[in-house]
C-alpha cells in the first residue's frame, strides 16, 4: 500500500512542478493563482513524501490499513471486470449512440452480473429506456449520437 | 421579512416545484439508506438535472435531497449496524442493540421523529441568522470576500481528518483544476493542452460525479455488497418510539441546538455532529449507564443533531459563499449554474430564494420523516436489493448527467478519468472533499485576489475586516481541530 501511496504522491509532485513551470509562461494576470498555489504546494508535497518514505522505512502502519489493502487486493479482479463493463458501455455509446448502447448494456449486465431472469431483465430495460425517453423530452435533454449511426444516416 | 417568507411559501407550493422537491426527497431517502453513498453523491447525481430550471425549483430539489439524507440513513444504522452515511455512526451504538432486542421499530420511530424536529430547528436557526448576519454580509468588499474564500480553503485541513497535510494538498490540487481553462482577468488559456473541450474548464458536474459517485459505485459492485440480512421492522413499535422522543423533548432541543452550531463551523460535518451529540447526551443525561446497550436517548440525540446541522451549515455557505463540506460546495456550484451567487445577494435581491430554501428544509424534513415512518417496511425491503441490481441503473443516470454538462464527448471521457482519480484517492487515503472545495473556490479566490491587489496592492492585508476574519480563521482552525479530536468515538466510549 505504502509503495502506491508514495507513487501517487510523486505523481502529485510532478503535476505541481509542471503547473509551476507552465505558469511562468502565462501573462502576469493569468499567472497569479496557479504559480503561487504551485509554489506553496511543492514544499508541502515534498514534506508529505518525506513522511511517507519515513513511515515506509520504519514500517509504521496500522493493522487496519494492512487489512484494508489485502481486502482491496482480493477485490481487484472484480474491480477490473466492472471497470471493463464501464469502458465497454462508453465504447458502445460511441459506436451506437446512447439509447441503443444503454439497452444493450443493461440487458447484458442484468442478465450476466445481476442474475435476473429474462422477463425481469427485459422489463428493467424497457422501463429504463421509457423513463430516459420521457424525461429526455420533458427536461429537454440530449444524448450522444453513435458514430456508426451518423455514418449510416 | 415575514411577508417575503409567506411569498416564498406560495412559490414553493406551486405544484411544479413541489414535484421537484418530492423528487429531491425521494432521491435523498434512497441515497441515505444505501451505505457508502452520502450527500455529495446525491448532490452530484441531481446537479445535472437543474439545467434550465428556475432557481426555486432547482433549490427545492437539491435542498429536499440534502435535508432527508440524515433521516433515512438511520435504516441501515439500526437494522444492520452499518452507517447509511457518516452522520449516522453514533446511532449504531444504541440503535443496533435495540434492533437486536426486537425493538427496531421503536428505535426507528424515535429516530425519525427526532430527525424531523431537528431539521425544523435547523431551518429556524437559518431563518433567525438572516437579520444577524445581513449587515455583516453587506459590508464586505473584495478583500473581505477574498478572506472568506481563504476561510473556506483553510477548512480543507480539518476536513482531511488525521491527515491535514493531504487535505491542504488536495485543496491546492482542486484550486489548480479550477484554474484550467480561460483566466478570469485576461483572455489566456491555461493547462488546456490545446483541447477545445478544456477551454471552458472542467465542468463542476463532471468533477462531482466522477470524484464522488463513480468510485462508490465501483466499490459497491466489487464488494458485492448485499445487505440482505436486514431485519424487517414491525409497525407496532413506531408509535412507542415517537412517544419516547416526545418525552425526551429537551434532549431533542439541546441536541438540535448543538447540531446547528457545529454545522455553522465550516469543515465539521455530520460525522462530527453525531459524536458530539452522543457524547453530550451520555455526559449530561441521568442514568446514562445503559448508553451503548440500547438506550433510546442514544438514538434521539445524534439523530436530532445531524438533521439540525444542515440548517447551520447553510449559513456560511449561502451568506458568505464558504462551502464547509463537499455537499455545500456542490450546492454552491448548483446555485452558480442557475445564475445565482451566494453572498450579499442572498440577503438582498435573492432573499425570496433564501426563504424558499428554508421552507424546503423544513418541509422536506417533515415529509421525509413521514415517508420513512409510513413506508418503513417497504424501505427496509428496498435496502435488501443487492448492488448488482441497482448500480447499472445508477451508472446510466450518471452518464446521462455528466453528458448534460457540455453535451460534448469530453464530458463522458473526463467523467471516467476523474472517476478513476477519485477511486485512487479514496483507496490511498487522500481526502476528496477538500479537492472539490478548492475547485469550487478557485475562480472566486483568483478574482478577489486580483481585484484586491489591483485596487489596494498589499495594503488590503491591513484592512480591519481582513484582520478580524484572519483572527477568526485561526480561532476556527484551532477550535475545529480541538473539537474533531475530542469527538472521536474512542474518546467517547
ipTM attached to this prediction: 0.91
- pLDDT value at residue B269: 60
Q: Give B-chain residues touching A29 at CB under 8 angstroms.
A: 183, 185-186, 188, 450
A96 touches chain B (CB under 8 A): no
Q: Give B-chain residues touching A90 at CB under 8 angstroms.
A: 399, 412-413, 416
Residue A61: pLDDT band with limits 50, 70, 90: low
pLDDT at A25 over 80: yes
Q: Give B-chain residues touching A105 at CB under 8 angstroms.
A: 392, 396
* Cβ within 8 Å, pair B185-A105: no
- pLDDT value at residue B138: 74
* Cβ within 8 Å, pair B188-A27: yes
pLDDT at A115 over 50: yes
A147 touches chain B (CB under 8 A): no
Q: Give A-chain residues touching B403 at CB under 8 angstroms.
A: 98, 142-144
Contact (Cβ atoms closer than 8 angstroms) between residue B152 and residue B413: no
Q: Which of B387, B392, B420, B434 to mutate to test the interface with A (most CBs of A within 10 A)?
A: B392
- pLDDT value at residue B492: 42
Q: 3-state class of B320 per DSSP?
A: helix
- pLDDT value at residue B229: 46
Q: Which residue of B has its CA nearest to A18?
A: B191
Of the candidates B129, B79, B353, the residue with the CA atom closest to the CA atom of residue B230: B79
pLDDT tens string, chain B, 493 residues long: the values are 778 888 888 888 888 888 988 998 988 888 777 666 667 778 878 887 887 788 888 888 988 888 888 888 788 778 776 666 667 777 877 888 888 777 888 888 889 899 899 989 988 888 888 888 777 777 778 888 888 788 777 766 666 666 778 888 998 999 999 999 988 878 889 999 988 889 888 888 788 888 888 888 888 888 776 544 444 454 567 888 888 889 888 989 988 888 888 777 766 665 667 777 887 787 777 777 777 778 888 889 888 888 888 888 888 888 888 776 777 888 888 888 888 888 778 888 888 888 888 899 889 889 988 888 887 777 666 666 777 888 898 888 888 878 877 888 888 999 999 999 999 998 888 888 888 888 888 888 888 888 888 888 888 888 888 898 888 888 877 776 676 666 555 444 3
**Helices assigned H by DSSP within B236-296:** 237-247, 249-264, 270-284
Residues 6 or more apart whose Cβ sits within 8 Å of residue B388: A113, A114, A115, B221, B224
- pLDDT value at residue B493: 38
* Cβ within 8 Å, pair A98-B403: yes
Rounded-to-integer distance, Cα A44 and Cα A31, Å: 20
Q: Which residue of A has its CA nearest to B454?
A: A29
Partner residue opposite B395 with nearest CB, options A86, A124, A139:
A86
- pLDDT value at residue B488: 54
Rg of chain B over all Cα atoms, to the nearest angstrom = 22
Residue A45: pLDDT band with limits 50, 70, 90: very high
- pLDDT value at residue B490: 46
Partner residue opposite A144 with nearest CB, options B223, B403, B428:
B403
Contact (Cβ atoms closer than 8 angstroms) between residue B487 and residue B276: yes
Q: What Cα–Cα distance (Å) separates residue B373 from each residue in A66, B233, B235?
A: 41, 11, 9
Q: 3-state class of B90 per DSSP?
A: helix
Rounded-to-integer distance, Cα B131 and Cα B305, Å: 24
Domain layout of chain B by residue ranges:
2-492
Domain layout of chain A by residue ranges:
1-61, 76-153
pLDDT digits (tens, 9 = 90+) for A116-134: 889 989 999 999 999 888 8
Q: 3-state class of B314 per DSSP?
A: helix
Instruction: List the single range of A1-5, A22-26, B133-137, B314-318 with lowest mean pLDDT.
Output: B133-137
pLDDT at A88 over 90: yes
CB-count exposure of residue A57 (10 Å: 0-12, 13-18, 19+) = exposed
Q: Which of B177, B187, B400, B421 to mutate to test the interface with A (most CBs of A within 10 A)?
A: B400
Q: Which residue of B has its CA nearest to A48?
A: B165
The C-alpha of A19 sits at a distance from chain B's nearest C-alpha, in angstroms, of 8
Q: 3-state class of B182 per DSSP?
A: strand
Q: Which of A16, A21, A30 to mutate to test the interface with B (most CBs of B within 10 A)?
A: A30
**Helices assigned H by DSSP within A58-117:** 63-96, 98-112
Q: Which three cell numbers stand for residue B268?
A: 465539521
pTM for this structure? 0.76
pLDDT at A86 over 70: yes
- pLDDT value at residue A84: 93
The C-alpha of A109 sits at a distance from chain B's nearest C-alpha, in angstroms, of 7
Question: DSSP string covering B4-25, please?
Answer: HHHHHHHHHTSHHHHHHHHHHH
Q: Which residue of B has its CA nearest to A52?
A: B166
- pLDDT value at residue B423: 92
Q: How many interface pairs between A and B have CB atoms less than 8 angstroms apart?
A: 139
Contact (Cβ atoms closer than 8 angstroms) between residue B21 and residue B364: yes
- A positions 46-75 inside 8 Å of B (CB): 47-48, 51, 65, 72, 75
E strand residue ranges, B128-271: 181-182, 189-190
* Cβ within 8 Å, pair A27-B412: no
Residues 6 or more apart whose Cβ sits within 8 Å of residue B173: A12, A15, A41, B435, B438
Of the candidates B481, B92, B429, the residue with the CA atom closest to the CA atom of residue B294: B92
Amino acid at each position: 500500500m505504502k509503495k502506491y501511496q508514495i507513487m501517487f504522491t510523486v505523481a502529485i509532485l510532478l503535476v505541481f512542478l509542471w503547473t509551476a513551470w507552465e505558469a511562468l509562461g502565462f501573462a502576469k494576470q493569468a499567472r497569479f493563482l496557479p504559480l503561487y498555489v504551485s509554489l506553496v504546494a511543492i514544499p508541502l508535497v515534498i514534506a508529505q513524501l518525506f513522511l511517507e518514505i519515513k513511515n515506509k522505512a520504519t514500517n509504521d502502519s496500522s493493522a487496519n490499513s494492512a487489512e484494508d489493502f489485502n481486502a482491496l487486493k482480493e477485490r481487484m479482479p472484480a474491480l477490473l471486470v466492472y471497470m471493463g463493463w464501464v469502458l465497454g458501455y462508453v465504447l458502445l455509446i460511441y459506436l451506437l449512440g446512447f439509447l441503443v448502447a444503454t439497452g444493450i448494456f443493461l440487458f447484458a449486465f442484468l442478465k450476466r452480473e445481476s442474475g435476473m431472469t429474462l422477463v425481469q431483465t427485459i422489463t428493467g430495460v424497457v422501463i429504463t429506456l421509457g423513463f430516459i425517453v420521457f424525461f429526455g423530452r420533458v427536461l429537454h435533454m440530449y444524448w450522444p449520437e453513435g458514430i456508426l449511426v451518423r455514418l449510416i444516416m | 421579512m415575514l411577508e417575503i417568507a409567506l411569498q416564498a411559501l406560495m412559490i414553493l407550493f406551486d405544484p411544479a416545484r413541489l414535484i421537484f422537491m418530492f423528487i429531491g426527497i425521494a432521491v435523498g431517502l434512497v441515497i441515505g439508506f444505501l451505505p457508502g453513498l452520502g450527500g455529495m453523491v446525491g448532490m452530484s447525481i441531481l446537479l445535472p438535472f437543474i439545467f434550465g430550471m428556475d432557481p426555486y425549483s432547482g433549490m427545492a430539489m437539491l435542498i429536499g435531497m440534502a435535508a432527508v439524507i440524515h433521516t433515512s440513513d438511520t435504516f441501515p444504522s439500526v437494522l444492520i449496524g452499518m452507517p447509511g452515511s457518516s452522520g449516522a455512526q453514533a446511532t449504531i451504538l444504541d440503535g443496533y442493540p435495540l434492533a437486536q432486542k426486537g425493538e427496531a421499530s421503536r428505535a426507528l420511530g424515535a429516530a425519525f421523529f427526532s430527525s424531523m424536529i431537528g431539521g425544523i430547528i435547523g431551518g429556524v436557526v437559518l431563518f433567525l441568522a438572516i437579520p444577524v448576519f445581513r449587515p455583516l454580509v453587506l459590508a464586505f468588499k473584495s478583500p473581505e470576500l477574498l478572506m472568506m474564500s481563504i476561510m473556506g480553503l483553510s477548512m480543507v485541513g480539518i476536513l482531511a481528518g488525521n491527515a491535514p497535510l493531504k487535505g491542504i494538498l488536495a485543496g491546492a490540487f482542486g484550486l489548480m483544476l479550477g484554474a484550467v481553462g480561460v483566466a478570469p482577468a485576461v483572455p489566456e488559456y491555461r493547462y488546456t493542452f490545446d483541447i477545445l473541450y478544456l477551454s471552458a474548464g472542467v465542468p463542476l458536474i463532471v468533477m462531482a460525479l466522477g470524484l464522488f459517485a463513480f468510485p462508490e459505485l465501483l466499490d459497491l459492485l466489487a464488494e458485492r455488497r448485499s445487505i440482505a440480512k436486514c431485519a424487517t421492522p414491525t409497525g407496532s413499535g413506531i408509535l412507542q418510539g415517537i412517544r419516547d422522543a416526545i418525552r425526551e423533548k429537551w434532549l431533542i432541543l439541546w441536541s438540535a441546538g448543538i447540531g446547528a452550531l457545529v454545522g455553522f463551523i465550516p469543515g465539521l460535518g455530520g460525522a462530527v455532529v453525531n459524536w458530539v451529540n452522543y457524547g453530550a447526551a451520555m455526559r449530561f443525561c441521568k442514568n446514562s449507564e445503559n448508553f451503548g446497550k440500547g438506550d433510546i436517548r442514544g438514538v434521539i440525540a445524534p439523530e436530532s443533531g445531524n438533521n439540525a446541522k444542515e440548517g447551520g451549515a447553510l449559513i456560511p455557505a449561502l451568506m458568505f459563499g464558504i462551502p464547509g463540506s463537499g455537499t455545500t460546495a456542490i450546492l454552491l456550484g448548483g446555485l452558480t449554474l442557475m445564475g445565482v451567487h451566494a453572498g450579499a445577494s442572498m440577503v438582498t435581491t435573492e432573499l425570496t430564494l433564501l426563504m424558499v430554501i428554508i421552507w424546503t428544509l423544513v418541509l422536506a424534513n417533515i415529509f421525509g420523516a413521514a415517508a420513512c415512518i409510513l413506508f418503513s417496511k417497504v424501505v427496509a425491503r428496498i435496502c435488501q436489493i443487492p448492488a448488482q441490481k441497482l448500480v447499472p441503473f445508477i451508472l446510466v443516470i450518471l452518464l446521462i448527467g455528466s453528458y448534460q454538462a457540455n453535451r460534448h464527448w469530453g464530458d463522458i471521457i473526463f467523467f471516467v478519468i476523474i472517476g478513476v482519480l477519485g477511486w485512487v484517492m479514496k483507496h490511498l487515503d487522500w481526502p476528496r472533499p477538500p479537492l472539490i472545495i478548492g475547485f469550487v473556490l478557485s475562480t472566486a479566490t483568483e478574482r478577489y485576489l486580483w481585484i484586491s491587489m489591483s485596487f489596494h496592492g498589499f495594503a488590503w492585508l491591513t484592512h480591519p475586516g481582513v484582520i478580524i476574519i484572519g483572527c477568526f480563521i485561526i480561532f476556527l482552525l484551532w477550535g475545529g481541530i480541538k473539537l474533531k479530536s475530542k469527538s472521536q468515538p474512542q474518546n467517547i466510549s
